[in-house]
Every structure is written in C-alpha cells, then in structure tokens.
Amino acid sequence: MNDQLPMQIRSRRSHNKSRAGCQNCKKRRVKCDEKKPHCTKCVRHSIECDFASPAASTSPDPTRRFRFRPSKYQPGSRTSSPSTRTEAVTSSAASASTGVQCDLAGSALSGGISFADLKLYHHFVTSTYKTLADEKVDHKRVWSHHVPQWGISFPSIMHLILALSALHLAHEDPASRTQFIAQADDHFTFGVRSVSAVLCLLNTENCQLIYMSAALICLVYFGRGPRRGEYLVFSDIGRSEWLILLHGVHSIVSQNHDRVFTGVLEPIPDDSIGGVSDELQAELDEHLQQVQQVQAFILSHVTDETSRSLFAAAINDLLSAFEEVYKMRSAGKDGICLMHLVVGWVYRLRAEMISLLEQKDRYALILFGHWSILLVYQRSSWLMQGWDAHVLHGVRTSLGEEDQQWLAWPIQVIEGEVPTHSTSKL
C-alpha cells in the first residue's frame, strides 16, 4: 500500500512567476496585470502606479520594513526650515513603529497612513459619524459601518471622511483649529482629485461609491464653513462652487438612480414621522402666510407665462418643503436630519431658476431669502452653523433698496426676533 502512495501524488504544474508587478500590487499581495504605464488595479483605485515613473524599482526588497509615515501635520512642520524638517524626520524614523505595514489598500498616500490620519479615522468611527445621521433610524449602519469600510478600498471616500473628521475636530477643539483645517484641506484636495479620476469609469459596481464620494464632498463644503462671496446658489464672482458640487451629485443620481439607492442605500421610511404638532402648527402657518404673500407679489409682477410657471413651481415646492420640515420637527428631529428636505428644494430647482439667481434677479433673490429660513432649523448640526445668516446676507447685499422690505420676515426669524421652538439636538 505504501509503495503505491507516491504514484497517487500528482506533480505540481510548473509555471513562471512574474516578479515585474508594480509596487502597489506587491504591497497589497494581489496579481498585477503589468500594463504600462498604469496597471489596471492602480487605475481602478485611482492611485499613482509606479510604472509611470522611470525610476521605479522592479526588484522586491525582501528585507523591507514598513514604518508609519511621519506626519506633516506635526506642530511646526509647515513653518520649519527644510533642514529642521529633515532632522525631525531622521529623528522620528529611528524610533518609528516597525513590523506592521499600516497601509490602506488602494490608498493614494504612499508609504502608509500617518498617526495623524489614524487619529482622524478613529475620531470618525467613534464620534463624527454620529453627527451625520439619526442612529435610531440608520438600521443599515451606513455611516457607522459601511462608509468607513468603503473608505478602505475606495480612496476618495477615505480622504473625504478624514477631511470631515478633521473639520469636526476643528469645531470641537478651537485651540487646534488651524492644524485640523490644514489636514481637512489637504484630504479634501486628494478626495476631489481621486473621485474626478474615476468619474469616467462610473458603472454598476462603483456608482454607490462615487455617489457617496460626491455627497461627502458637499458635506465637507458645509463643514468648512461659509466663505465670503459664496452664497450656495450664487456668488459675487462667477458660478457658485457648492452649486457645481451639487450638480455633480445630481448628474450621478439622474443616470444611476435605481443602482445607487439599492442595498444599504435603499431609503427606509421613518414611521415616527406624522403630521405637524399643535405646538408647531401656528409657527408653520406664519411661515406659509409670509411665503404666500411673496407668491402674490411675484406673480402679480411677472407677466411672461413661462416665467410665471417657473416661479409658481418653485414657490409651491418651497411651501411643501416648509410643511415637510415641520413634520420632521414635530417628531423631534432637526439638524442633519433635515438636510435632504432643505437642500432638496435647491436640488430640484430648474436650470432657468438657477440662472435667475446667478443673475441676481430680484424675484428669485426674494424667494431664496425665504428659503434661508429653513437653514435656521439645521443650526443644531455643527456642519450648518452660520449658514442661515450668511446666505441671507448675500441676498440682502444683492437686492435693491426698494425690495429690502420683502426680506423683513427672514431677517426677523434668522436674527432671533421671532421665537422658534427647539427640538432634538444632533
């Protein structure tokens, strides 16, 4: 029996093992197709392939040790002299942690992830994610589980959640704001750059990831805070940066709606949302009455039938937005929970209305000023603080003196002269 055993063992098929793969694939221990000047896997993950560099080494280093990359966000690293920075890096390398490669698959950060980045990632998965959704209704754990997990393999999402985390820390720790803002800006730049690189590769497999990247870009923009001369839909000079970002989200969704909003991103109805409470009904009625007065004023002055239809649709949608917001508030929800309703009105505006706002049309500005009231009820979110007053300021400075009276109600609400009932804080 033992004599027959060797005859039963099949010999292993011989093959040639390639050692010419790119360094990114080698570090991730995946097969590289060795396409030049960029291998397929590097293109898919939007990272720089070392095949594009003529100095790239093709021979593996069996003795290589991986270290945590020194953080350029260390105090003084941005202002110190080159010689000082070199000495600091040399000194830190001597005591760097070794033996474990802390390198996120598909990350564009060559050399691994820094301690500063690990701190941001930890803050996101323990704190920041809680400020982005109502955990009570996030049954699929989109923000607590799936988004951080997607970031591991999709660099756009990783950079953007690190940017969002840095902005959250800047909000919580004003003394270190400068440092955290610098981190946020750097990661935001990488995030936008990497998602731009894969937009042309939009397909069924990555449409949810690209959509989430675009949504995160908009959130980072809000979290960065109001910028002088930029008022979301219009600006003092040129097109609004945020509107361009929002149109990017709109384009992705319009082409892939059913593929985006499926699986973990499929909307789940919130059974806690009912009607408007008796406590808030009078407050809502006052808002509706004010918007209806604006409606009567605009439609009495706009005579072109096409323009009348355009304004009528936008005003009716705004009235509906107020009602939906007050239903949410009646259920004890505000802040980030209202984002889809508040931003949804701008998202649905027709291109002609957007054009009127960019041209600073008097009627469009008056209507936009009343929309800014809805931003008041998002103040409890750190992302949205200051935006209501900022947008209204842009409207006031762009509107002629003869029309300032039509902003009296938004001014009273936003400046606190009209009391509003507070709800939950997220």
Q: Is 129:122 a contact under the CB 8 Å cutoff?
A: no
pLDDT of residue 70: 42
**Which two three-digit tokens encode residue 33?**
């197709």
Report whether pLDDT(422) > 60: no
10-19, 21-30, 111-120, 142-151, range with the lowest pLDDT: 10-19
Confidence band (pLDDT; 50, 70, 90) for 270? confident
The candidate with the shortest Cα–Cα distance to 215, out of 242, 239, 238, 193, is: 242
Predicted local confidence at residue 419, as pLDDT: 60
The yes-or-no verdict on residue 39 having pLDDT over 90 is no
Element (H, E) at 169: helix 155-172
For the chain, percent of residues with pLDDT exceeding 90 = 56
Going 317 to 318 to 323 to 326, the CA torsion angle's sign is: positive
pLDDT at 51: 73
pLDDT reading at 11 higher than 80 = no
Q: Which residue has the higher pLDDT, 50 or 365?
A: 365
Q: Answer yes or no: are the C-beta atoms of 222 and 387 closer than 8 Å.
A: yes
Instruction: Work out the pLDDT band at 195, boundaries 50, 70, 90.
Output: confident
pLDDT of residue 52: 66
Write the CA distances from 296 to 63, 155, 168, 292, 392, integer angstroms: 77, 50, 42, 6, 21
Q: What's the pLDDT tens digit per position in 295-324?
A: 999 999 999 999 999 999 999 999 999 999
Least confident of 205-209, 243-247, 304-308, 329-333: 243-247
Closest residue by Cα to residue 406 from 263, 301, 332, 285: 301
Tell me which of 54 and 211 has the higher pLDDT: 211
CA 60 distance to own-chain centroid: 38
- Does residue 165 carry a pLDDT above 60? yes
52-109, pLDDT tens digit by residue?
654 444 444 433 333 334 444 334 444 444 344 333 333 333 333 332 333 444 344 4
**What's the pLDDT at 194?**
85
pLDDT of residue 417: 66
Indicate if the alpha-carbon torsion angle 278, 284, 290, 292 is positive or negative: negative
CA distance linking residue 73 with residue 185, whole number of Å: 12
How far from 84 is each of 71, 76, 222, 371, CA to CA, in Å?
Answer: 14, 10, 36, 52
Q: Where are the domains of the chain?
A: 115-265, 278-415
Q: Which residue in the block uniquely carries the two structure tokens 């992830």?
A: 113
Residue of 89, 134, 133 lying closest to 114 (CA atoms): 89
* Under 8 Å between Cβ of 177 and 170: yes
How far from chain centre, in Å, is Cα 110?
A: 23
Q: What does pTM read for this prediction?
A: 0.73
Q: How far is Cα 326 from Cα 342, in angstroms, rounded to an integer?
A: 11
Burial degree of 317 (CB within 10 A; 0-12, 13-18, 19+): middle
The whole-number pLDDT of residue 418 equals: 65
Q: Please give the Cα distance from 182 to 163 (Å, whole number).
A: 9
Residue of 384, 273, 271, 268 whose CA lies nearest to 328? 273
pLDDT band at residue 421 using 50, 70 and 90 as cut-offs: low
- Rounded Cα distance between 324 and 420, Å, is 16
Residue 423 contacts residue 333 (beta carbons within 8 Å): yes
CA 258 to mean position of chain CA atoms: 21
Which tens digits make up the pLDDT trace of 326-363?
A: 999 999 999 999 999 999 999 999 999 999 999 999 99
Which helix (H) or strand (E) segment holds residue 86: the answer is: helix 82-94
Position 4 pLDDT exceeds 80: no
Res 16: pLDDT: 54
Return the closest-CA partner of residue 321 out of 302, 303, 338. Answer: 338
Beta-ladder partners of 231: 234
pLDDT score for 423: 54
Tokens representing residue 19 in the block: 């050692």
